[in-house]
Each structure stands twice: as C-alpha cells, then as structure tokens.
Amino acid sequence: MSIPRLIVFDLDFTLWDCGGTWCDCLSPPFRVNGKRIEDRTGRLVRLYDDVHEILAHCDDHAITLALASRTEKPTWARELLSHLDITHRFAFAEIYPSSKLRHFAALQKDSGFAYEEMLFFDDEMRNIHEVGGLGVTSIYVRDGMTADLFHSSLNEFADRQNPHRG
C-alpha cells in the first residue's frame, strides 16, 4: 500500500480541543495540573482521544509529520504543543497567521516532498479545498481526529496513488 511521505495536521478542532474555542481565544497563562492543561479561566486543552495512537502509528511506519496552523497566537500554540509533550513528533511546523497555501509552499520546499506525496487533515472546508487544489490528499475532520478517520484516509491516499488497485 502506498503511504504518504508527509502527513500534515491542523491544530484547533483537528488534533486538539481548547475548551470549545481556538487556541488564540484562550487566556494564558497556561497551568499544567497532572495531565490536565488549563488556561487562566479553567478552559481545558486536550488532544482528541486517538491522537497518541495516530502519532504512534506514524512513528512505527516512519511517516514524517508536520503541522499547519493559521493561528493568530503562534507562541501560545507552540507552548501548548510543549505542554502536551508532542512537539518532538513534528519535523516541520508552519504555525502563523497566513493562508494554508503559504504553509504548504513552505512545507513542500523544506521537506522536498511533492504535494501528491502529502496527506492533510483540517476541520475547515475552505482549507480542504485550497490545499486539495495543490494535489494534496486533503481530509475534512468533522469532530476531531479519530483512528477510524485516520486509517480510512490512509486507504483513500493509497487509492489516489494507484487508482487501479483493489
């Protein structure tokens, strides 16, 4: 089965939930209390339940990972990634307010991977359409990343790579 050379994740409502809002709407400072991360108002920041399993699968299959987030508060996003102890999982991170097209141009340049070798997950349909137009297999995330969505998307990627398989 063909696997992506690079898998790219959005952050808000894709890899994590920040108390029902975007990370740039939180109120630092962030507090780490055991495994809980909260902002000043008590909003809980958490990875979706299957994210660790998904990241482990990518590690096991030597799939390079990246982030693409258009947040207005990149330092907050990076701080949350650190608190969640997943920063080291991502070889590339384009985290700044801009079009996902700019994020992907940088990812393509820095990684050397063609757009057709990438798989992208995001919760905003406008990003799915924009990035999909580049040739990236782009998957809409309705309610946060799940293992089922991830694995079905790997199959979709493989089908796009080899339309005669099956």
Q: What is the pLDDT of residue 35?
A: 78
Please say if the pLDDT value at position 166 is more than 80: no
Domain boundaries, the chain: 6-16+47-161
Q: What is the pTM of this model?
A: 0.95
Of 164 and 134, the structure prediction assigns the larger pLDDT to 134
Find the catalytic residue in 10, 17, 39, 123: 10
Q: What is the pLDDT of residue 36?
A: 84
Respond yes or no: is residue 110 known to be catalytic: no
DSSP string, the chain: ----SEEEE-SBTTTEEETTB-GGGS-SPPEEETTEEE-TT--EEEE-TTHHHHHHHHHHTT-EEEEEE--S-HHHHHHHHHHTT-GGG-SEEEESSS-HHHHHHHHHHHH---GGGEEEEES-HHHHHHHHTTT-EEEE-SSS--HHHHHHHHHHHHHHH-TT--
Respond yes or no: is residue 12 known to be catalytic: yes
113-122, pLDDT tens digit by residue?
A: 999 999 999 9
Q: What is the pLDDT of residue 162?
A: 78
Homologous superfamily (CATH) for 6-16+47-161:
HAD superfamily/HAD-like (3.40.50.1000)
